[in-house]
Amino acid sequence: MKSIFLTLFCFISIIVKCQNSKKEFVLNGIIQNRDTGKIFLRYINDLEKWVSDTAILINGHFRFVGEINEPVYASISGYKKIVDFEQVNFTNIFLEPGIQKINLTENDFVHSKMEGSLSQREYDTLTMNVDSIKLKYKNIHQEILMSKYKYKEAKSQIEKDIALELQNEFIAKLKPENDEITNLYISFAKQHPNSYVSPCFFYFPAKLMPIDSAKLIFSKFSPSVQKSRFGKNIANIFIQQEQNAIGKVPYNFNAIDINGINISLSSFKDKYLYIDFWASWCAPCRAEIPHLKNIFELYNPKGLEILTISIDKDSIAWKNAVKTEQLYKWHNVLVNKEIEKNYDNIQNPIPSGILIAKDGKVLWKSSNDESLESVLKRIVN
């Protein structure tokens, strides 16, 4: 009898512990300039599943209730309205267990005011600093916006190409801004090792930094932050980077190319292989295609093959882009789960690439200071 009660006690304890791992959050809100309609909340739970919730507006007020086990990066949105190519009834927030309230304004969600979330206060401070950086480059952003309108209003493909080329030129001028923002994220992560905001925004810089430097910053994070959803994602980046580091044999994936041909990394044995990660919607990726074709023409006779891997979610858009750009001299693959799991390039800013030597080992990565052309001239020639 005693053993039965002990077993029952342990079983109840496990149930209580599982229930206590999740905590309730309440988000009370009010939206200015709208009394009725719907508000939508989305976030990823601890099971890596998207949670989508809808609240009905009553005299401009709404309420969300749910369960989370840590602060989460969420989005809140209203009815879709696009102004200057941006959804103005959309913003990101940091939800925490407990009671919070948010004040929104119709057609201006980005300037929301939220209380009750420490992570949100930290996020607001970070966002304010990002905005101050962007303000220095407002003229370039305005030129990009104008080029988008020119592309939208273009009546011929030639006009679209000119507008797109102009847009790419201005995007390239934003590199100093991107560098400043990246350094800001790194600095924030260093200064806020206990913040759940840190791993969220250190995620992309961690991909670009030397792995030892990124690991050092990550090691200063508190255990709970390291074990958070974004913390685990960063830890996975380190695994991928070490697996595909220069001098190592990268993961031998299998895939089916655009023509239905089964290929694997081992298919390119005894050849130099450049893997280019891109997407149909990526303007810088499309802009570098002529340069990629020149590299192929120059070095393919010397044993270089090219494999382009698209991270497109829309396979039709991918196929149309391959057709438009006439990328038929090399294999074209749409990313699959196997590639996504084992290559950090999928989450990197694209375009990005890897050069693999004839012995199957990684020779160069786009994160290196040396250019691809320089490596090819030095090694292949």
Helix, strand, or coil here: 142? Answer: helix
Question: What is the tens place of the pLDDT at every residue in 281-335?
Answer: 888 899 899 999 999 999 999 999 999 999 999 999 999 999 999 999 999 999 9
CATH code of the domain in which 320 resides: 3.40.30.10
Residue 250 has pLDDT above 70, yes or no: yes
Long-range contact list for 81-85, CB < 8 A, 24+ apart? Answer: 81/107, 83/107, 84/145, 85/145, 85/148
Residues 131 and 106 in one domain: no
Average pLDDT over residues 246-271: 92
* Beta-strand pair 304-310/272-278: parallel
Confidence of residue 21 (pLDDT cuts 50, 70, 90): low
Query: Is residue 254 over pLDDT 80?
Result: yes
Cis peptide before 250 (omega within 30 of 0): no
Same domain, 236 and 260: no
- Judge whether 4 lies within some domain: no
Distance of CA 378 to the CA centre of its chain: 33
CA gap 27, 64 in Å, rounded: 5
Instruction: Using alpha carbons, select from 39, 17, 36 the residue that is nearest to residue 28.
Output: 39
Q: Does 1 map to a domain?
A: no
CATH number at residue 45: 2.60.40
Q: Are 94 and 148 in a shared domain?
A: no
Tell me what pLDDT residue 1 has. Answer: 47
Sorted by sequence, the CB contacts under 8 Å of residue 378 that are 6+ apart come out as none
Dihedral of alpha carbons 210, 215, 216, 221, sign: positive
> Does residue 149 sit in the same domain as residue 230?
yes
Strand partners of residue 50: 44
Q: How far, in Å, CA of 180 to CA of 205, rounded?
A: 11
Contacts of 183 (CB under 8 A, 6+ apart): none
Domain limits at 362?
Answer: 254-380
Question: What global pTM score does this model have?
Answer: 0.75
* pLDDT value of residue 347: 67
Which domain-ending residue is among 97, 116, 135?
116
